[in-house]
Structure 1
Amino acid sequence: MDEVTIGVIGAGNRGETHSEAYAEVPGATVAAVADVDEDAAQRLAERYDVPEVYADFRAMLDDSGVDAVDVCVHNNLHRPMAVAAFEAGKHVFCEKPLAGSYADAKAIADAAEAAGKHLGVQNETLLAPETRGAKTFVDEGNLGEISYARSVYSRRRGRPYVDGYGTPAFVSKESAGGGPVIDIGTYEIGRMLYLLDNPDVERVNGKTFEFYRDSYDESLVGPNTDVYEDRLEDSGFDVEDAGTGAARLADGTRLEIRAAWHMYQSDERGAVVGSTGGIELDPLEFHTTTNDYETTARIDVDEYETRQGRLASERGYTADRPTQFDHWIETVRGDVEPIPTGDIALNSMLVMEGIYLSDELGREVSADEVVDNSESRSVDL
């Protein structure tokens, strides 16, 4: 397959971002856009010279000229659209998280397997230079026997819509399934699972927090208290502001997690730690002992990427264009060994829903309990 033709479902912010990215990927062509808001779909099509516009995504799935579908809608719409695309014989790339619940994510993964098609899930961190560098240290055994990993994606003031950007759909269980745990937590949980070779999840504990749901303290928030209160009320905000937890993995590793849109805590960095060394990310540093001296080495990922870019030829891994969209197109074409983003996203969903279930039950939960208790949040179309 020399050229991969893509149909984008969703003409909003994500649909535009993905269409713009594909415009820079050799061998990729956005051939169609579908959205119930046909005017929005038409505007996106005109901006990126897309020839076909559909008001119904099902009509686009009937288009034999579309090889792969990119699902760029809210979380609880992912399952019906992705499953229908697989049943139509298309490959599927899906915005993060894979779905709004584990049950829906598993249904998507099962549909991909039944169709024998590729499932890709958006996670820009997996092909970041720091991640590739960290993966090298893990794979080469520089860390020894790994025992601990830390996943952190935390903001002090960054709730969608309420704090001034994004749409209310991000803060509604009806459309999103959850708050920061699955919105931004999915990035770093996925990255840590990838660095650990995506081991099975055994048990999860967690707690979520809701700050300033009913009122604001002007001394903390500032002079725009009324504005924030109004946006909070208008949005129908019914998800968490922050979540923390930990997962016990089948390889013996403990994975600690913090994901927050709104939590007054200093930043921490993702980490993977073993018996002979540890790494922290962004920037990438290696911690060990040398001649009995405690040693911290800053890893020059930029120089490494430049040198590898001169030597390598595989797109999706080279320094000149190491993006998830290149990797996805190369995966569909069969030109690279794919990163199993679908498997990682499904395992991430198990951890994230485990945090919610643990909070609800007030105790640690097993992976089997998460699976058994997970219910579909999918929107019927």
Structure 2
Amino acid sequence: MFHVCSTGHRRRGRPFVDGYGTKAFLKKEIAASGALIDMGVYHIVQMLYLLDMPKVERVSEKGYREMGRRTTGAGSGVRCGGFGFVKFADGVTMDICEAWSVHLGSFEGCSIIGNRGGIRMTGYSDQAALTPFSYHTTVCDLDLNCTVNLNEMDIRWQQLR
């Protein structure tokens, strides 16, 4: 593998502002860095685990409060979106894209791209599954796109025990 993408978002999911959570989510001294810390850590650690915890060489990141200015105030300091790029010592790279609120229908799920194939994790939008887990490769010059029903797979594996 040579590149992974760590992504997650909500269409309108700002804590407190869009109907759930408390005002504590909007206070920088309590909430730290917003969506990247609130949601992103789960996707990032999933990718790091699948990469076997590689050594980080360089990180660049940019956070935005643009979606929250009208309702939370520009001074809240909590970022509605965090975006970054990581370069690991072994040459693998990772994009990071996490947002509480974006004007898009969905982001695709996290992915792993390699020279023999690619994996797309299940994508979610506002807690609803949008894209299935899938594996993509080429065999004998034929492009293969395989979707996997993880729930049914888990049930079958439990029955084999």
TM over 0.5: yes
Percent of paired sites with the same residue: 40
Q: TM-score, normalised by structure 1?
A: 0.38
Cα distance in 2 for partners of 1:288, 1:254 equals: 20
The question of 1:183 aligning with 2:61 is answered: no
Cα distance in 2 for partners of 1:260, 1:278 equals: 24
Letter aligned with residue 248 of structure 1: K
Of residues 253, 258, 280 in structure 1, which corresponds to 2:120?
A: 280
Aligned to 2:138: 289
Identify the structure with the greater helix proportion: 1
Please report how far the alpha carbon of residue 269 of structure 1 lies from its aligned counterpart in structure 2 after TM superposition.
Answer: 1.4
Q: Any residues of structure 2 matched to 1:92-111 within 5 Å, and which?
A: none
Cα distance in 2 for partners of 1:255, 1:295 equals: 24
The answer (yes or no) to whether the contact 2:10–2:102 under 8 Å persists in 1 is yes
Aligned to 1:247: 86
Aligned to 1:154: 9
Please report how far the alpha carbon of residue 264 of structure 1 lies from its aligned counterpart in structure 2 after TM superposition.
Answer: 1.7
Structure 1 gaps, min length 5: 1-145, 216-228, 313-381
The runs of 4+ residues in structure 1 deviating greater than 3 Å are: 212-215
Aligned to 1:269: 109
Aligned to 2:129: none
Provide the aligned length of Structure 1 versus Structure 2.
Answer: 150
RMSD, aligned CA: 1.7
The answer (yes or no) to whether the contact 2:31–2:78 under 8 Å persists in 1 is no
Of residues 204, 207, 215 in structure 1, which corresponds to 2:62?
A: 207
Alignment deviations for residues 265-285 of structure 1 (CA, whole Å, 9 cap, x no partner) = 342211011110110011111
Larger radius of gyration: 1
The question of 1:198 aligning with 2:78 is answered: no
Aligned to 1:306: 155
Identify the structure with the greater strand proportion: 2
Q: Any residues of structure 2 matched to 1:1-381 within 5 Å, and which?
A: 146-215=1-70, 229=71, 232=72, 237-265=76-104, 266-282=106-122, 283-312=132-161
Structure 2 gaps, min length 5: 123-131
The answer (yes or no) to whether the contact 1:168–1:237 under 8 Å persists in 2 is no
Letter aligned with residue 144 of structure 2: T
Q: TM-score, normalised by structure 2?
A: 0.85
Letter aligned with residue 20 of structure 2: Y
Please report how far the alpha carbon of residue 307 of structure 1 lies from its aligned counterpart in structure 2 after TM superposition.
Answer: 2.3
Cα distance in 1 for partners of 2:121, 2:67 equals: 32
